[in-house]
Copies of this chain bind each other. A is one copy, B any other.
Amino acid sequence: MSFGFGKDFRVTLFGESHGKVVGAVVEGCPAGLQLTEGDIQQELDKRRPGQVLTTGRRERDLVRLLSGTVNGRTDGGPITMLVDNEDVDSSWYEKHRYIPRPGHADYTAFIKYHGFNDYRGGGFFSGRLTAGIVMGGAIAKKILATRGIKILTHVVQIGNIKVGTQIKDEQVEEFAYSSPVRCADRKKSALMVAELDRLAAEHDSTGGVIECRVLNLPVGIGEPIFDSMESVISHGIFSIPAVKAIEFGSGFRLSGMRGSEANDEFYVKEGRILTKTNNSGGILGGLTNGMPLVFRVGIKPTSSIGKPQQSVDLRTMKERELRVEGRHDPCIAVRAVPVIESMTSICITDLMVRVQMIPRTVGD
């Protein structure tokens, strides 16, 4: 059951890296929403492989919308979307089936499934499955847009190059996707590009940090205790391969602060209650407080690297050297940006549908 996420707005993923398709079924989308293949394609294009600085696999990722709409609007039923896997070559994996790649799920999946898992390109553990997250997120974003909610995401660190200053919302909105590394700070973006070129040349990789902000959220989204905003978002975000850390608001820095400094004091502006600071990242008691929801996600370096690494043959239990062939993204954080944006949209939509901030039909 772990291929589906969400309680009232639910995205179920399917497919394998080297199988026929990857896709998603979305349940719980309000009826009446205008939705075309173009809406989904637009989001899918943001994570498509084969762009600058990314993996050599060429996939067009043309979405097919198979169910859930009539006359250009959602009909209240499950929305099924998929893309074909077109550029698949499994020969390397056939040859190295029993030599798990360090950093990947190969070893753990082999044990869990007694060897019956799909070993080609990681099977359903592959980052390729995140295409389904983006498909579901495309719908979630359209729903949130009907409530004026925006999600801004960009890269704030690649390797040791960090965006030092707070970038304005408008700047993130405008520049994130025009940067080849999805970083809205143009100077740092250039440095990051150079760094990735260097790493690619060295057959190595690095990690990164992504910042996500959600604007215009109403107060009170999130459920007490086990479906706190942080719980639901972190659950979703850690489902994305390579994510290893998350912090909300001032995050780990809060551990070293004093309460008198960390508490966000309330004030009134134009009849609305706001806080002077936003150390809490827009969340109090697990519920949104009307301030921007802010979190940062730590991404590990791409595990597939050209350098030789130590592994073990699972049949003979002998140690073996392994060199992962092919071109791979030197920093997977770049392509994770739309995925994190999508996953966040799914989380918030689910919580809003649940508490009836989004009704079951939204058509005009």
Residues of A within 8 A of B (CB): 1-5, 7-8, 10, 12-16, 19-23, 25, 27-28, 31-32, 66-68, 70, 73-80, 82, 100, 102-109, 111-114, 116-120, 122-125, 129, 157, 159-160, 199, 204-209, 219-220, 223-228, 230-232, 234-236, 238-239, 241, 243-252, 254-268, 271, 273, 275-276, 279-281, 284-289, 298-305, 307, 309-312, 314, 317-319, 333, 354-356, 359-361, 363
Whole-angstrom distance between the alpha carbons of A114 and B33 in the complex? 12
- Flag if A14 contacts B118 (CB, 8 Å): no
Closest residue to A33 on the B side, CB-wise? B116
- Known interface pairs A76-B117, A207-B254, A266-B311; A227-B2 also in contact (CB < 8 Å): yes
- Inter-chain contact B123/A77, CB cutoff 8 Å: yes
Contacting pair B258 A204 (CB below 8 A): yes
Q: How many copies does the complex hold?
A: 4
Q: A4-B226, A244-B247, A267-B319 are in contact. Are A116 and B255 (CB under 8 A)?
A: no
Q: Which B residues are in CB contact (< 8 Å) with A74?
A: 116
Majority SS of interface residues in chain A? mixed
Q: Which residues of B contact A275 (CB under 8 A)?
A: 102
Q: Return A32 CB to nearest CB of chain B, in Å.
A: 4
Contact B244 A245, beta carbon cutoff 8 Å: no
- A77 pairs with B1, CB closer than 8 A: no
Most buried by B among A100, A157, A231: A231
- Is there an interface contact between A312 and B266, defined as CB atoms closer than 8 Å? yes
B contact residues around A10 at 8 Å (CB): 1, 4
